[in-house]
Amino acid sequence: MNASPASDALTQRAGEIAAKVEAFVREIVVPYEKDPRRDHHDCPTEELVAELKGHAKAAGLMTPHILPDGSHLSQRETAIVLRATGLSPLGPLALNTAAPDEGNMFLLGKVGSPEVKERFLRPLVEGNARSAFFMTEPAEDGGAGSDPSMMRTTCHLDGNHWVVNGRKAFITGADGAQVGIVMAKSDDGACMFLVDLPDPAIRIEHVPNTIDSSMPGGHAVVAIDNLRIPADQMLGQSGEGFRYAQIRLAPARLSHCMRWLGACIRANEIATDYACRRQAFGKTLIDHEGVGFMLAENLIDLRQAELMIDWCAGVLDAGGAGGAESSMAKVAVSEGLMRVADRCVQVMGGSGVTSDTIVEQVFREIRAFRIYDGPTEVHKWSLAKKIKRDWRETHA
């Protein structure tokens, strides 16, 4: 079936934006990969990120997937653009397409009131603030992880304020964020709140060292002690928190796939260049079948990841919730990209495990990607439950 003229125009629009983004990442951002401005967790410092964002603003490429009128590119268009930002681990930070900000901007753009958009969304879109999404809780507390129904953080109404108490874990970017989206449980069910950060009632207990190092602020454990939030900063009504979380869930899950596809494309470029230059046993590495076949398998996995992303994006663009589809995409893409990253390291041998190139970092980042936004096994379990439900419906 041929694409319609309208879809051709949209693809051309996205392609033009992506081409500018790719040139910016390769020419401006990539040289910063050797910049020593890193914190003790090896994450880029606020100073480094601010400098990169300054370059993006000067180039007119800040938050390229959100248009000047505030509208978003379609998910299929976004995939093309975010893939280009991901060509460097620093690219999403420079261009303001990184997690959790990208998902938070999407959510606020969909459900925020004009007042919420002006106060909380605009600074994020302009690249003048970072955000954090407070949902996951410490395992030692028996709190919510992959199962959000286990949430132990509570909230109750006190006059015209909600009071929140609990602990959260693995809160990406909490250290240094200016906007927070906090999940808590009332008598009605899950609730979602917007808060200004920092707030003395939200205390960072610990920022653990993790295998990944691409996100400023790391993944903090925080304590929330009698946090008072004005009632008009609740998104929706009491008990509607999970419904709002679902609006964010599938697109944010998919955008991770988009960005890390770009990173693995770049890692494969580096490994391919190495294999085509390096001599061993009388010929270049790529002429050895074992190496050449690994790079051929990389092309297959990269193309399959691209197609899975495009398929799921099409479901979302058509108005589907995309829950099952984004689970399938997340599993297929994260597992496929893990194979790609692993092969890149293997092809490069000793060089592949050093920080001389980004290949080693991409390997670490993709390993973490297999866990966050739902481990592979949780998504498979969710899909298995859907299979059983569908079977029951057809055999009732």
Contact 310, 14 (CB under 8 A): no
pLDDT in tens, 349-365: 999 999 999 999 999 99
CA angle 11, 66, 379 (to 5 degrees): 80
pLDDT mean across residues, the chain: 95
Q: Which of 184, 224, 179, 171 is nearest to 197 (CA)?
A: 179
CA angle 234, 169, 37 (to 5 degrees): 105
pLDDT in tens, 213-247: 999 999 999 999 999 999 999 999 999 999 999 99
Q: How confident is the model at residue 11 (pLDDT cuts 50, 70, 90)?
A: confident
E strand or H helix that includes residue 205? strand 202-206
- Give the CATH number of domain 242-394: 1.20.140.10
pLDDT in tens, 31-89: 999 999 999 889 999 999 999 999 999 999 999 999 999 999 999 999 999 999 999 99
What is the arithmetic mean of pLDDT over 281-298?
98
Dist. CA 54–CA 363, nearest whole Å: 28
Whether 265 shows a pLDDT value over 90: the answer reads: yes
What is the arithmetic mean of pLDDT over 97-107?
97
Predicted confidence at residue 7, as pLDDT, reads 63
Note whether 131-234 and 242-394 share their fold: no
Dist. CA 156–CA 162, nearest whole Å: 5
Predicted confidence at residue 256, as pLDDT, reads 97
Q: Which long-range contacts (CB under 8 A, 24 or more apart) does 288-296 make?
A: 291/347, 294/343, 294/346, 294/347, 295/268, 295/271, 295/343, 295/347
What is the arithmetic mean of pLDDT over 142-162?
94
What is the arithmetic mean of pLDDT over 368-383?
96
What is the arithmetic mean of pLDDT over 175-183?
97
Q: How confident is the model at residue 2 (pLDDT cuts 50, 70, 90)?
A: very low
Q: Six-digit token pair at 176?
A: 């240094």
Looking at the domain 131-234, which fold is it? Butyryl-CoA Dehydrogenase, subunit A; domain 2 (2.40.110)
* Domain ranges, ordered by start, for the chain: 5-98, 131-234, 242-394
41 vs 381 pLDDT, higher one: 381
Dist. CA 396–CA 393, nearest whole Å: 5
Q: How confident is the model at residue 9 (pLDDT cuts 50, 70, 90)?
A: low
Q: Which of 42-56, 102-116, 139-153 has the lowest mean pLDDT?
A: 139-153
pLDDT in tens, 307-316: 999 999 999 9
Whether 296 shows a pLDDT value over 70: the answer reads: yes
Could you give the count of Cα atoms lying within 13 Å of 351 in the half-sphere of its Cβ? 13
Is residue 47 packed enough to be buried (19+ CB in 10 Å), middle (13-18) or exposed (0-12)?
exposed
Predicted confidence at residue 220, as pLDDT, reads 97
Predicted confidence at residue 5, as pLDDT, reads 53
Predicted confidence at residue 41, as pLDDT, reads 87
Predicted confidence at residue 396, as pLDDT, reads 80
What is the arithmetic mean of pLDDT over 275-280?
97
